[in-house]
Structure 1
Amino acid sequence: MRYGTLVLILGLSVGHAEAQAAQCSSYYISEINLVSTVDAVPGNVQTFVGFGLSKEESEKNAIGACSHVRFDMETCLDSDRASGLNTASDSTNSALHLKYRKAVKRITGCS
């Protein structure tokens, strides 16, 4: 029984170390921009960002943060959205990489 527990703990430790050692360029970044249409100052923008090892995970994280907003704004799904890899070579959305590359490293602990 002790041996089984030790293997499980070591397995979790190795898995955690591998997750921390992931390359920053393997992370996806998703950004959601909500624009207020009813605010006292029309045009107020709020930005929500999500990171993940897949595009779907990063979008889910951004939408999860956005879904907590409770005021008259367009919905998270109908807003301006962008996703891309955290690498300058991602020609579709290298602007996201330029804006958030340091944040990805701080938050994820990637190398």
Structure 2
Amino acid sequence: MKRAVLMTTIVALGVIQGTRAEPQAAQCSSFYISEINLVSTADGEAGHVQTFVGFGPSKEEAEKSALGWCSHIRFDLETCLNSDRLTARNSPSDGGDAALHLKYMKAVARITGCS
């Protein structure tokens, strides 16, 4: 029996208010990125993957943003908390978690105006 995987990506990026109006933009590496991957197997045949992303000036803010988007869209908070989660600083020099930086560095810079 063939198993199909249906992937849906929902990328929700929170906007940090006021960053564009500041005379000197914050360093992009000072932002944190949090990603939640939620897999639903309700139909028994295919996995439905949704990705929620948040970012902020601290690890806690980034996680809160991603959890907020996840629970707001369709799921309860407990489901979001028990999903695959990853949070890292937006810096390639931070070692093993550079994958988030590579995936979202342009979005962070575009939305926050960081340099």
Name the TM-score, length of structure 2 as normaliser: 0.74
Q: How many residues are paired up?
A: 96
Q: Which has the larger radius of gyration?
A: 1
Mapped partners of 1:37, 1:78: distance in 2: 15
Mapped partners of 2:32, 2:92: distance in 1: 12
Task: List gaps (5 residues or longer) in structure 2.
Answer: 1-17
Q: Which runs of 4 or more aligned residues in structure 1 lie more than 2 Å from their structure 2 counterparts after TM superposition?
A: 39-42, 69-72
- Measure how far apart 1:85 and its partner are: 0.5
Partner of 1:84: 88
Partner of 1:103: 107
Q: Structure 2: which amino acid aligns with 1:70? A: R
Mapped partners of 2:94, 2:101: distance in 1: 8
Segment of structure 1 superposing worse, 37-46 or 27-36: 37-46
8 Å contact from structure 1 (residues 28, 54) kept in 2: yes
Partner of 2:22: 17
Whether 2:61 is the aligned partner of 1:57: answer yes
Mapped partners of 1:68, 1:50: distance in 2: 13
Question: Structure 1 37/89 Cα, relative in aligned 2: closer, same or farther at 3 Å?
Answer: same
Give the match's secondary structure for 2:62: helix
Mapped partners of 1:45, 1:89: distance in 2: 29
- Measure how far apart 1:91 and its partner are: 1.1
Give the match's secondary structure for 1:17: coil
Question: Percent sequence identity over matched residues?
Answer: 69
CA RMSD of aligned residues (A): 2.4
Whether 2:71 is the aligned partner of 1:67: answer yes
Q: Please state which structure has a larger fraction of its residues in strand.
A: 2
Task: List gaps (5 residues or longer) in structure 1.
Answer: 1-12
Mapped partners of 2:65, 2:74: distance in 1: 17
Partner of 1:46: 50
Name the TM-score, length of structure 1 as normaliser: 0.76
